[in-house]
Structure 1
Amino acid sequence: MSVQSSILGRSRRAMKRPLLDVVAEVLLAQPGASLAEVAEAAGISRTTLHKHYATRDDLVRAVGLRATEIYEQAVDRVADEPGTEAGLRQLLAAMIESGPQLAFLWRNPVLDEDHELTQRYVDAEKRCLAVLNRARSAGLIAASTPDWWMLQMVNSLVYTAADSVQFGKLAPLDAPDLALSTLLHGLGVRA
């Protein structure tokens, strides 16, 4: 079974998305995919892929940089929002939409060795934490919740929601609301 049919299940015509987004999905689903398989899934030749990225490491780093930029943009969209449910929902929606790219970052420890990339991610994470702290100050999140736990819960919810959307278990428009409800109320019955 080819990478394209087993992973993406889409025709080449349906792949009018940025190359690095397609590469993130391919390498998430099949980390050992060859550059030829990646190029095929992206609907380009291996030669074209090599013109842009001389080595696999160059390609992986480029995907990591794109994923980090997407995370930065998601956080920046709500950076000035007060600690509101609407601001949290907007953050979750932006992060869920970019789920494959974020999952690529979270699941590729080789990217941790890239100091520039790591610093940019840490800076974006601090801005994300600032949004969560405003929500905590507004009483939406329990005051006793540690910073690291808030970040882990958001990342876990984003990962699960994006994965569920990708596999058709959850409608894309329902994902942010379900993630927000779970973040703020857990799985218990609302009073």
Structure 2
Amino acid sequence: MVAVGQELARHAVLLDAAVRCLVAQPRASLAQIATAAGIGRTTLFKLFATRDQLEHAVAMRALSVCEAAINSASGHAEEGEQGGDGGLRALVTALIPIGPQLTFVWRSTSLDVDEEVVGAYHRMDAALLGALASARQAGVLRADRPEWWLGQTLYALVHVAWDSVQCGQLARLDAPDLVLDTLLGGVGTLAARTAR
């Protein structure tokens, strides 16, 4: 495998272009990925000899970007910039722009057997659950729902928001409010909830 730490830093632009290409076309050839990244196929092969090596590097970069966004939002919450929501708005606002990275990680089940990727995913997920715990402590999220459910719900809403922004259905600046409104209020009416 490619030496992850150094290669991720050196090739961040390439890996970010590759993730966007692979999200748009999961079966894209290495030549198509190279074109999307603005490099030649030979250069790509020099950096990543196989598709598996490239996908590993893309996954590690994606997870690194996601964890950094979560930690940045959590840092704002710790500094008192949370607005009474335990940092939930900062978290959602940080995650929506990195929709391609989140989508790649969710879709790439072949990476489930890559121990390094699985470890990085668990670190990212732990960071997210920690951020959601802050929102729960602030009284913004229900305490009677499992943490993993809140995390998966947030991931799904962020993905839909990012995809909707990409398709032109949702304005980028409106996305965080829609995600937060749906996460905190659900989509059912109060009458439907009380009728159950």
Q: Give the TM-score category using the shorter length.
A: 0.7 to 0.9
- With over 3 angstroms needed to count, the CA separation of the structure-2 counterparts of 1:54 and 1:63, relative to structure 1, is same
- Unaligned residue ranges in structure 1 (runs of 5+): 1-16
Which residue does the alignment assign to 1:182? 182
Which residue does the alignment assign to 1:156? 156
* Alpha-carbon distance in 2 for matches of 1:87, 1:150: 15
Which residue does the alignment assign to 2:67? 72
Cα shift at 1:86: 6.6
In the TM superposition, structure 1's runs of 4+ consecutive aligned residues that sit over 2 Å from their partners are 82-86, 187-190
Cα shift at 1:67: 0.4
Contact 2:86 2:140 in 1 (8 A): no
Residues 6-25 of structure 1: pairs in structure 2 closer than 5 A? 18-25=13-20
- For 1:142, give the aligned amino acid: R
Which residue does the alignment assign to 2:41? 46
Aligned pair count reads: 174
TM-score where L is the length of structure 1 = 0.84
Aligned: 1:60 with 2:55:
yes
Contact 2:20 2:100 in 1 (8 A): yes
SS of structure 2 residue aligned to 1:85: coil
The percent identity for this pair of structures is 48
TM-score where L is the length of structure 2 = 0.82
Cα shift at 1:93: 1.4
Deviates more, 1:67-76 or 1:136-145: 136-145
Task: Report the aligned-residue RMSD.
Answer: 1.8
Which residue does the alignment assign to 1:172? 172
* Alpha-carbon distance in 2 for matches of 1:41, 1:74: 24
